């Protein structure tokens, strides 16, 4: 798993992302004919299926997935995706020789993946497959966080850089978060509230390195450092949107 996919996997589930995932679950539940198959727990007692729990170690369905999501059981995106994948893998495992069930599973999984691909965090089918087939150790949120004042200083230092250096820093961050789709021409939405502490540290170090290199270059060219901040930015450009 490369760093870009890892960053996608450990995306913190914010309120906005939780709501988006709930809409995906609802969309899948409403798929004609097939959605109802996975909506509720398998009634292995009433059917009956006496060997169901011997084969399926962790039952999962849309209602349980939704309840876990609402109750905050999933801290990171990969946890949600792993449980969602159980819905299809459980069905395929128990109905191993049933071609009809396998076709239904494949159709519903494809429907689910197409909806994931529309998320702002952009989970493509290829990324989804890598995440759900990778054993990711249980993570815990890093208690160390960037303070608001530290984020504000970081944004100020970023904005003081020349535009080419700003572009390099922003591209690095969006690429690490798998959010290059947020670049629209000269404008970009840069969200820092869903970044890991480690990624923000890397971003901060990159901005500082660019700032130091720019100052050194100006000194070499004979421009006083104290007038660097007075160099006007180009006008007529829509400002970038930074969400902390």
Domain that holds residue 185: 148-243
Last residue in a domain, options 106, 132, 158: 132
* Domain assignment of residue 181, yes or no: yes
The CA distances from residue 221 to 62, 166, 218, 225, in Å, are: 63, 21, 5, 11
179-224 pLDDT tens trace: 777 777 777 777 776 677 788 888 889 999 988 888 888 888 776 6
Number of domains in the chain: 2
CB under 8 Å, gap of 24 or more: what pairs does 112-117 form?
112/24, 112/28, 112/84, 115/24, 115/27, 115/28, 116/24, 116/81
* Interatomic CA distance for residues 19 and 244, integer angstroms: 19
Q: Say yes or no: 17 and 87 in one domain.
A: yes
When pLDDT is cut at 50, 70 and 90, the band that residue 237 belongs to is: very low
197-209 pLDDT tens trace: 788 888 889 999 9
Q: Say yes or no: 23 and 97 in one domain.
A: yes
The CA distances from residue 127 to 54, 72, 90, 180, in Å, are: 31, 23, 21, 15
* Domain assignment of residue 139, yes or no: no
Query: Is residue 220 within 8 Å of 212, Cβ to Cβ?
Result: no
Phi, psi of 61 (to 5 degrees): -150, 175
Mean pLDDT of the chain: 84
Q: Say yes or no: 124 and 28 in one domain.
A: yes
Report the helix count and the strand count for the chain, using DSSP H and E: 10, 3
* Domain assignment of residue 137, yes or no: no
Q: Say yes or no: 73 and 170 in one domain.
A: no
* Domain assignment of residue 19, yes or no: yes
Q: Say yes or no: 125 and 164 in one domain.
A: no
Question: In this predicted structure, what is the pLDDT of residue 108?
Answer: 96
Q: Say yes or no: 19 and 100 in one domain.
A: yes
Q: Say yes or no: 13 and 117 in one domain.
A: yes
Q: Say yes or no: 108 and 162 in one domain.
A: no
* Domain assignment of residue 141, yes or no: no
**What predicted TM-score, i.e. pTM, was given to this entire model?**
0.61
- CA-based diameter of the chain, in Å? 84
Query: Is residue 87 within 8 Å of 60, Cβ to Cβ?
Result: yes
31-84 pLDDT tens trace: 999 999 999 999 999 989 999 999 999 999 999 999 999 988 898 999 999 999
Q: Say yes or no: 156 and 219 in one domain.
A: yes
């Amino acid at each position: 798993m490369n760093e870009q996919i890892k960053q996608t996997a450990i995306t913190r589930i914010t309120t906005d992302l939780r709501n988006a995932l709930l809409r995906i679950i609802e969309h899948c539940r409403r798929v004609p004919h097939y959605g109802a198959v996975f909506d509720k727990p398998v009634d292995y007692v009433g059917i009956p299926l006496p060997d169901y729990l011997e084969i399926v170690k962790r039952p999962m369905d849309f209602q349980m997935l939704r309840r876990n999501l609402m109750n905050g059981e999933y801290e990171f995106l990969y946890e949600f995706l792993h449980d969602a994948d159980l819905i299809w893998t459980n069905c395929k495992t128990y109905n191993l020789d049933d071609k009809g069930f396998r076709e239904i599973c494949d159709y519903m999984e494809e429907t689910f993946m197409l909806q994931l691909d529309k998320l702002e965090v952009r989970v493509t089918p290829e990324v989804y497959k890598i995440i759900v087939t990778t054993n990711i150790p249980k993570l815990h949120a890093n208690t160390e966080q960037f303070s608001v004042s530290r984020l504000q200083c970081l944004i100020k230092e970023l904005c003081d850089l020349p535009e080419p250096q700003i572009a390099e820093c922003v591209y690095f961050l969006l690429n690490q978060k798998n959010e290059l789709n947020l670049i629209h021409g000269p404008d970009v939405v840069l969200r820092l509230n869903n970044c890991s502490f480690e990624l923000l540290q890397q971003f901060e170090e990159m901005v500082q390195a660019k700032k130091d290199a720019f100052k050194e270059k100006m000194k070499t060219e004979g421009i006083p450092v104290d007038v660097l901040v007075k160099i006007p930015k180009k006008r007529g450009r829509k400002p970038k949107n930074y969400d902390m």
